[in-house]
Structure 1
Amino acid sequence: MGYHHLALAAKDMKAVHDFYEGVMGFELVKVEIAPVMGGGWGKHFFYRMDGDDSKWNAAGLDVLEIDHNWCHSVYTRDPNGNMVEFCLTTGSFDDADRARAIAALDETEMHASPAPAMMKHWLAKDAV
């Protein structure tokens, strides 16, 4: 299963574009421009997400990679300092997963999930 698209709001779309296309390696493929509720208008940019995360370290970004046992995630920070996660589902969900998630809604004490199968912090300084 591949990613479909990334949607976000930004004050400086040019900086965000430079980050997502130039650093992340995603290709800008389409824009939808339309009125928005409450007045005004907006632009919805679509990026194809087949990038290679090895470019991220070379651009000075630290990357955290985690195999959560049911999905594989990579995390980094965008130009606004927001932590962003890109996640690919590698397993499936069943009724027990849903029951566990619903039970967690009311829990007031930590009941930790199983440890990740893999966790690696890729530091930008190691990319030189």
Structure 2
Amino acid sequence: MTSHPQRGLSLFLTIPADGEPARTYNQSLEVIRLAEELGYETAWAAEAHFTLIGLPSALTFLAAASQTTTTIRLGTAVVPLTFDNPIRLAETAALVDALSGERLEFGVGKGNGGG
């Protein structure tokens, strides 16, 4: 059996210096759509708090990405558990998984450097 390396895309967004986060988020959603078109199999979004690198809510962003893509798997890299109620987080992840057609790769961790 021949295997091929998985083609994945990781997004480590930063807070836009120009004060226009909607533009940055929309451009990033377009990057995921184009990655899918080019044959990428996964797209990962980092979540972070108290730092300039990462999204305030990776699951919300991936829910939006799920509505403009159909095959690319969407992953969190990672959601820090320190800042969320575990039941609410599990329910939100389940909702995103349902909206995406079961394409969510849900990664969690104990926290980040700021947490």
For Structure 1 versus Structure 2, the TM-score category normalised by the shorter chain is under 0.3
Instruction: Report which of the two has the higher share of helix.
Output: 2
Greater strand fraction, Structure 1 or Structure 2? 1
**What TM-score, normalized by structure 1, do the two folds share?**
0.23
